[in-house]
Amino acid sequence: MNNIKLQQDLCNVIRQAIDQKDIMGANLLITKDDKEIAYCQEGMANAEQKRSIQRDTIFRLYSMTKPITATAAMILMERGELELYQPVSDFLPAFAKQKVYQNGKLVSPQRPMMIHDLLDMSSGLSYPDDATEAGRAVGKIYEEMCQKLGQPNAITTIEFANCLAKSPLLFTPGSSWQYGTSADVLAAVIEVASGKKFSQFLQEELFTPLDMKDTAFYVPEEKQHRLAATYETVLDSAGNPKMIRYTGTNLAISNEMKQPPAYEAGGAGLASTLDDYLKFAHMLQHQGTANGQQILHKRTVEYLISSKQSPAQMKAFHQWIGADGYTYGNLMRRCIAPEEHRNLCTYGEYGWDGWLGMYFVNLPKENITLLIGMQKKDAGTFTLTRKLRNVCFSYLL
């Protein structure tokens, strides 16, 4: 294996994406057997300030927060402070009265929402959309949250969950799959179960033991110069792509991230660096241990990375482009049929991405971790991500 050639090829792919106005900049990190085998950094973290992407650039994780939230739930499960068949209403009583919108009517679900439904996105909770009654109701909640963002009456993590409990579900919990606010409700459950703010629990149980010094729900003033700006690709008057700055608020997460938020979003709220997230990823690769400490026990990690959907849930999940060959559980995707996927992958790989293009995957059998950092609006896992995966895996698998 030629690590120098691998790194060159990866950097070339990123540079090409920058030249095509697909991204403003990105960095990428690969380890195998705990050793770094490739690192790339190309382009700008902030074009207006002429700041380039650096190794310590801080990124908004958005949904790459979710695996961390799932791990926090596993810690509480190990301690007997929650179990996964418990109704969510044991912790958030408002969920005992939640309804499902069916055939133009609000009806009681066939069974209560359970903790494992939150971990598997089978709760019936959704993100905002204009196509469903549930999505429109959630959208109104987010509108109110954005109006109060940064104010003394800003909506908190538990208050947000209680607001969601008053909105209708898309379906009876467990009967299907829908990407939505499940992880955010799980964060509220963790607050109730632990008796601590979600940020405090993560700091004490994960970030401090793992020495993740740049991971939090906000970026303090002394680190603001390291926070990457967010961009989006648009077409100019001639139909050519160009990149412009995005400064909006998505999912009630402040784009500036200057102050500790009242709402600590378990599905989207954290900021971090590639090196910090690598420490979390390596802890999972090491079956729950790091720095001589046991964060999770081996069997718990095995459970965390081996969940599988029901046929009905998988049918809904596979409507996503690129989900073929994968299942979803514990707030991550996992490859279970690499022969069904149309790009390079391997059985057992698991991870997730973020709305702005952040990406994480662990390959447990090969002991490989791949991390990608960027800040592009509406990215998630997109063509560039898959190109970089293919280059990486063609060398390493």
Q: Is the dihedral of CA 116, 143, 138, 234 positive or negative?
A: negative
Do the Cβ atoms of 257 and 227 come closer than 8 Å?
yes
Please report how the helices 157-165 and 133-148 are oriented relative to each other, as an axis angle in degrees rounded to 10.
150
Query: Could you give the domains of the chain?
Result: 3-64+203-396 (3.40.710.10), 70-196 (3.40.710.10)
pTM: 0.98
Do the Cβ atoms of 363 and 346 come closer than 8 Å?
yes
Q: Please classify residue 392 by burial: count the beta carbons closer than 10 Å to its beta carbon, then call 0-12 exposed, 13-18 middle and 19+ buried.
A: buried
Closest C-alpha among 40, 16, 13, 20 to residue 243: 20
Helix ranges (H only) for 79-132 are 115-120
Task: Per residue of the chain (397 residues), give pLDDT as tens.
Answer: 689 999 999 999 999 999 999 999 999 999 999 999 999 999 999 999 999 999 999 999 999 999 999 999 999 999 999 999 999 999 999 999 999 988 888 999 999 999 999 999 999 999 999 999 999 999 999 999 999 999 999 999 999 999 999 999 999 999 999 999 999 999 999 999 999 999 999 999 999 999 999 999 999 999 999 999 999 999 999 999 999 999 999 999 999 999 999 999 999 999 999 999 999 999 999 999 999 999 999 999 999 999 999 999 999 999 999 999 999 999 999 999 999 999 999 999 999 999 999 999 999 999 999 999 999 999 999 999 999 999 999 999 9
What's the Cα-to-Cα distance from 348 to each of 121, 328, 359, rounded to whole Å? 20, 12, 17
- The amino acid occupying position 329 is G
Dist. CA 172–CA 186, nearest whole Å: 18
Per DSSP, 250 falls in state B
Tracing tokens 């790194």 back to the chain, one arrives at 7
What would the two tokens of residue 9 be?
Answer: 């090829």
